[in-house]
Amino acid sequence: MNGSHEDGGKHISGGERLIPFHEMKRTINALLEKGLSHSRGKPDFMQIQFEEVHEPLKTIQPLPVHTNEVSCPEEGQKLARLLLGREGVPRKVIEKAYEQIPEWSGVRGAVVFDIHTGKRFDQTKEKGVRASRMDWPDANFEKWALHCHVPAHSRIKEALALASKVSQHPAAVAELCWSDDPDYITGYVAGKKMGYQRITAMKEYGTEEGCRIFFIDGSKDVNTYIHDLEKQPILIEWEEEHDL
């Protein structure tokens, strides 16, 4: 569901699934339910659409997960910057991006930031870039969650599926994310080396400013980067032996 914002309305919720046709009815009902019961408010506009996917489906492992317990957002943000640096985002670039985070809080998708130029890469303004066409079948996700001692919440499933898809791109360096939901303050940084690093406080309760930044290396081949994120269908499937 992707609300129209031409009238300047607030975006409440978005959701997307990648499924075989026979699961259509059940899945659309669940998306409708999600859009109607959201802590960001009651929607006055909703759009539901489906689309046949023709591109070949790729299956990948979820990124390894680690949860970092922090006692306050300051500590969380400090850790996030440290981890971004370790993953290869230069300190100056981290600072440049952080300076602009307040301006980007209204961007609905992700901001793509080039560590090579130190500038925003996408030109999608307030719309942002939406990583799309990825999913993680529930039964496999639940098995994974049990094994990794992580709550089996769809929010975590969706965030980890997205982060796993985004990080496997050759031009990807790292991702920084926290929710715009006022009642959810855990966020994460992710990358090929560090995996999915959850951080238990990235903002104060009650605030509706979220963040999602994809750091890329613009000196690599980035011609199809945004297209790949939007169109390449990816399924997550965890196999236990990959985690041993």
Which residues lie near Mg ion (CB under 5 A)? 181
Residue 184 partner contact from Mg ion, ligand PML, none using kind-dependent CB cut-offs of 5 to 8 Å? ligand PML
Which of residues 11, 120, 157, 198 is near ligand PML by CB under 6 A? 198
Q: Which is nearer to ligand PML, 93 or 110 (CB)?
A: 110
Q: Distance between CA 147 and CA 64 in Å, rounded? A: 12
Closest to 188 in 3D by CA, of 158, 218, 143 = 158
Q: Distance between CA 136 and CA 141 in Å, rounded? A: 6
Q: Which stretch binds ligand PML (CB under 6 A): 30-38, 151-159, 168-176, 232-240?
A: 151-159
Q: Which is nearer to ligand PML, 107 or 156 (CB)?
A: 156
**Rule CB under 6 A: is residue 156 a binding residue for ligand PML?**
yes
Q: Which is nearer to ligand PML, 196 or 225 (CB)?
A: 196
- E strand intervals along the chain: 58-60, 65-68, 111-114, 119-120, 134-135, 172-178, 187-191, 195-199, 211-216, 234-236
Q: Shortest Cβ distance from residue 134 to ligand PML (Å)? A: 14
Q: Shortest Cβ distance from residue 182 to ligand PML (Å)? A: 11
Q: Shortest Cβ distance from residue 200 to ligand PML (Å)? A: 8
Is 160 buried (19+), middle (13-18) or exposed (0-12) by CB count in 10 A? buried
Q: Distance between CA 3 and CA 35 in Å, rounded? A: 10
Secondary structure (3-state) at 191: strand
Q: Shortest Cβ distance from residue 161 to ligand PML (Å)? A: 11
Positive or negative CA dihedral for 97, 156, 198, 190?
negative
Residue 27 partner contact from Mg ion, ligand PML, none using kind-dependent CB cut-offs of 5 to 8 Å? none
Q: Shortest Cβ distance from residue 179 to Mg ion (Å)? A: 5
Size, binding site for ligand PML by CB under 6 A: 11
In order, the DSSP letters of 102-134 are GGGTT-SSBEEEETTTTEE----TTT-B---SE
Query: By CB under 6 A, what part of segment 174-193 binds ligand PML?
Result: 177, 179, 181, 184, 186-188
**Rule CB under 6 A: is residue 159 a binding residue for ligand PML?**
yes
Give the residues lining the site for ligand PML (CB under 6 A): 155-156, 159, 177, 179, 181, 184, 186-188, 198
